[in-house]
Structure formats: C-alpha cells, structure tokens
Amino acid sequence: MHLARDLEQAFVERDPQALDTVYSLYFALLCAVARSTLGGESDAEDCVHDLMLRIWLSKDSYRLERGALRSYLIVCVRNEALARKRKAARRHALDVHAMRMNVDDSADFAAVDHVELKRLRDALRTLPDAQRAVVELAYFGDRSQSEISSELGLPLGTVKSRVAAGLQKLAAEFTGKSR
Amino acid sequence: MSAGDHPLEDLALYALGMLDTDRRDDIDAHVDACSSCASALGAHEATVAAMVDAEFPTPELTSDARRRLAHRRSAMRTPRNIASLRGLAVAAVLALAVGVLGVVDLRQRDALRDDDVFLSAIVTSHFAHAQFRAIGGAHVDAKVVYDRGGRWYEVIARDIDPSYRVAVVTRDGAIARERPERFVARGRTSVLAIETPEAFAGFELRTRDGDVVARTATPSKGGR
C-alpha cells in the first residue's frame, strides 16, 4: 500500500520513472479493459496509449484525493473505450436495434459464466433485481444511461438512482468480503 | 453546475461509463474543484476496478504486444527521439510546405531508426496543412502540418522569434492551451513538432508574454 502511494505521488509530480512503472504494472490490465469494449487488440492498445499520454500531459488529470491511481486509470480507459465505441457506432450510423443484437450476442455476456468471474457474479447476485439489471447493462452491455432508460422503459432519474445504489452495495460486497 | 451542486448519482454513472463526453467533462470540472466529490468518485472507481479485477484476474501481454509497447514507450520519450531525426523531419515538412512533396521519400524512411515515430507518422498519416495569418502588424511566415486523425502536428516557420509559443485551440470550447514545447531554430527556419492525442481545431502563435501574433486559417490541402 505504501509503495502504491509513493507511485501515485511520483505520478502526480510527473516523475518519468513513475510513468514507466505505471506502464509495467498496469498496461496489460488496461489493455484487457479496453479490449473488452473495443474488441481489437491494436485498437485497445491505441486507446490505452492515447489516454496515458493525454493524462500524462495534463497536469490536473489525477490528484491524490481521487484515490487509487490504478482505479482511476481503469475507469479512464473504460470511459475512453466506450466513447470511441459510441463514436464509431454513430459514424457508421448503426441503428439501435443492430447495436443491441451485437451486444446481446457478444462474448461479454457469455463471459459472465466463466469460472473466473465467480466473485463478480456472486457480488452481482447480492443486488436486488432492479439494481442488478441496470448495473449489468452498464458494465457488461456498455450501455449509456439514456440507452438503458429507453431499453427498460424507466425514467432517467430511476436509472441513475438504481445505478448509484447498486454500485454502493457492490462496494460494500467487495470491501467486506475480500478486500 | 455550480460547485455547491454535488452530482452524487452521476458520479456512479461516470465510474460505470454511462455518461456522454459532455457530461463527463462537466463532472471532471466539478471534481477538480470539489474534494468530497473527488473522494466519492474515487470510491466508485475502486468498485469498478474491483469488478474489472474479477473479470480479468491475470491479464497478460502477448509478445507482439510487448514489442509494440516497447516501441511506443520509446516514442513517448519524444524530445530525444524527435531531436535526433529532426533534420529529416524538417526536410520533409519543408518540402511539403513549398508544395514539392506529396509523400515523404521512402528511401529516407528506410534509413530511419525503428523508433522514429514522428517521421513515420508523416509518411503514414493523412495530413493537411494550414497557413498562419498574422494579427495586427506582426510579420509571420508560418504553417502547420497536422495529422487529420489528430495524433500529431508540426509548426514550421521562417524568420520568427524562436521564443514564440504554440497554443492549441481545442475542439470543444475554443480554449487555447499553450504547449510547453519550444521551437528549434535551424538558420532562418524554426520547427516545433508535437506528437499528441490532444484534439485540436486550430493553432495560435504567441509571444512569450502571451500575446497572439497569428492564428491558423482554414486548412487548405490534404496530403498523403
């Protein structure tokens, strides 16, 4: 834990050694995160590199009070990959139906049944159905809030409150059981 | 959104990737100024990270990915690499600027080191260029060559004060962000090369005091 904090401090101070260390420690994970959304390996690597460079060049991007650098990077990469995916979808004028078909048939959903995901599945099972539905659509289905709202026929406010409550409960699950 | 309005529910949506870019930018701006929301967002990010950890317990890189990583990491240490090959890059861009060149001579490319990302980028990108237009009474003879994909740009100028700075006009709010890089002068020509994913809509040349002396006009021609 102490080492992680030292690394975060060095990253904030833009110590070049910190960037090397971050790459060594997290690159494979960040690429896996990007790949799960973007599909292709080179697209995923591009996404991670572009984002890392942007974060590195923008001095205000990460602050210690934000928490763990690793978590910050994971969410940044995921958001960047999702933005790229949505932009590409708009560019190619895919209709919503086609997107749903693609996502529903994707390996992402199939992967939920993989044995390595037991911990995540167990945690998700603790959520009430209504919360689990929106969290799964967001996390595994890469849906935006408005897509989930129209897909489930729920007001945006309800989607937001269910996601917030669901994520909070998941945090307790992860923290209480194994962290 | 004022600093007093804490977007607590949106923080969870942010962490799960459910917000569009504009809303994310709003949240980023708020979190920059609000420690409690920064901390709350960090907690949500930790939860999403735990979900990711459960999904990807032991991610590994292929050997190809490792090789590409090494290549890119060396490219991120751009000042040394770019400086070592700046002569070739300058030649290529100069030739382009006077309309002689459509594609960089591939024989030059063959002579390059493997990690010469910048000149390779010129060769392999679809690029465009735009002339700087002087503002007020300034005399400015400068041009920017840039990747249409937004990955790099190079400003080349003749007879300018090499202490001038380049500022990037962003696509979202026309905010001009000054770059830390400096021109490298070679005789009457000064060049400044940037490899960056930063989205740009235009460029400004500024004095050391921040006065704008020139802006880019509408891009004229594409290349490659």
B residues 67..96 contacting A (CB < 8 A): 68-69, 72-73, 76-77
Domain of B144? 66-222
pLDDT of residue A173: 84
**Could you tell me if residue B60 is inside a domain?**
no
Instruction: State the SS3 of chain B.
Output: CCCCCCCHHHHHHHHCCCCCHHHHHHHHHHHHHCHHHHHHHHHHHHHHHHHHHHHCCCCCCCHHHHHHHHHHHHHHCHHHHHHHCHHHHHHHHHHHHCCCCCCCCHHHHHCCCCCCHHHHHHHHCCEEEEEEEECCCCCCEEEEEEECCCCEEEEEEECCCCCCEEEEECCCCCCEEECCCCCEEECCEEEEEEECCCCCCEEEEECCCCCEEEEECCCCEECC
Is residue B46 classed exposed, middle or buried when 0-12, 13-18 and 19+ CB atoms within 10 A define those classes? buried
The string of pLDDT tens digits covering residues B193-219 is: 777 666 677 888 888 888 888 988 655
**Could you tell me if residue B84 is inside a domain?**
yes
pLDDT of B50 strictly over 50: yes
Band the pLDDT of B160: cuts 50, 70, 90: confident
pLDDT of residue B101: 39
B184 vs A100, more confident: B184
pLDDT of residue B98: 44
Q: Which CATH number fits domain A1-93: 3.40.50.300, 2.160.10.10, 1.10.1740.10, 3.40.50.1370?
A: 1.10.1740.10
pLDDT of B224 strictly over 60: no
The reply to whether B142 and B168 lie within a common domain is: yes
Q: What angle do CA B5, B11, B16 make, to 5 degrees?
A: 160
* Tokens found for residue A142: 């890469």
pLDDT of residue B223: 43
Residues of chain A with CATH 1.10.1740.10: 1-93
Chain B residues with CB inside 8 Å of A45's CB? 65, 68-69, 72
Q: How many domains does chain B have?
A: 2
pLDDT of residue B146: 79
The reply to whether B121 and B197 lie within a common domain is: yes
pLDDT of residue A91: 59
pLDDT of residue A165: 94
pLDDT of residue A79: 93
The reply to whether B43 and B141 lie within a common domain is: no
| CA–CA gap between residue B193 and residue B86 (Å, rounded) | 9
Q: Is B43 on the interface with A (CB under 8 A)?
A: yes
ipTM: 0.78
Q: b/e per residue, B146-183, with b = 16+ CB within 10 A?
A: bbeebbbbbbbbeebeeebbbbbbeeeeeebeebebeb
| CA–CA gap between residue A103 and residue B8 (Å, rounded) | 28
The string of pLDDT tens digits covering residues A123-144 is: 888 999 999 999 989 988 888 9
pLDDT of residue A80: 92
pLDDT of B12 strictly over 90: yes
| Average pLDDT score, chain B | 72
pLDDT of residue B82: 45
| CA–CA gap between residue B23 and residue B12 (Å, rounded) | 13
Chain B residues with CB inside 8 Å of A71's CB? 42, 45-46, 48-49
- pLDDT digit of tens for each residue in chain A (179 aa)? 456 888 899 999 888 888 888 888 889 899 999 998 888 888 898 899 989 988 988 877 898 988 999 999 999 999 999 988 887 776 554 444 444 344 443 333 333 344 446 778 888 889 999 999 999 899 888 889 999 999 999 999 999 999 999 999 998 887 765 43
B88 vs B16, more confident: B16
- Looking at CATH, the fold of the domain delimited by A94-179 is given as Arc Repressor Mutant, subunit A (1.10.10)
Q: What are phi and psi of B213, to 5 degrees?
A: -110, -15
Cβ atoms of B122 and B89 closer than 8 Å:
yes
pLDDT of residue A177: 52
The reply to whether B118 and B32 lie within a common domain is: no
* Concatenated DSSP letters of chain A: -HHHHHHHHHHHTT-HHHHHHHHHHHHHHHHHHHHHHH--HHHHHHHHHHHHHHHHH-TTS--GGG--HHHHHHHHHHHHHHHHHHHHHHHTT--HHHHHHHHHTSHHHHHTTSGGGHHHHHHHHTS-HHHHHHHHHHHTT---HHHHHHHHT--HHHHHHHHHHHHHHHHHHHHHHH-
| C-alpha distance from B41 to closest chain A C-alpha (Å) | 7
A residues 49..88 contacting B (CB < 8 A): 49-51, 53-54, 56-57, 60, 63, 65-68, 70-72, 74-75, 78-79, 82-83, 86
pLDDT of residue B198: 66
Residues of chain A with CATH 1.10.10.10: 94-179
B residues 189..208 contacting A (CB < 8 A): 196-198
pLDDT of residue A117: 66
pLDDT of B11 strictly over 90: yes
Backbone dihedral region for residue B171 (phi beyond 0: left; psi -120 to 50: alpha; all else: beta): alpha
A74 vs B73, more confident: A74
Q: Which amino acid is at B76?
A: M
Least confident of A167-176, B10-19, B102-111: B102-111
pLDDT of residue B105: 38
Radius of gyration over every alpha carbon of chain B, rounded to an integer in angstroms = 21
| CA–CA gap between residue B107 and residue B132 (Å, rounded) | 31
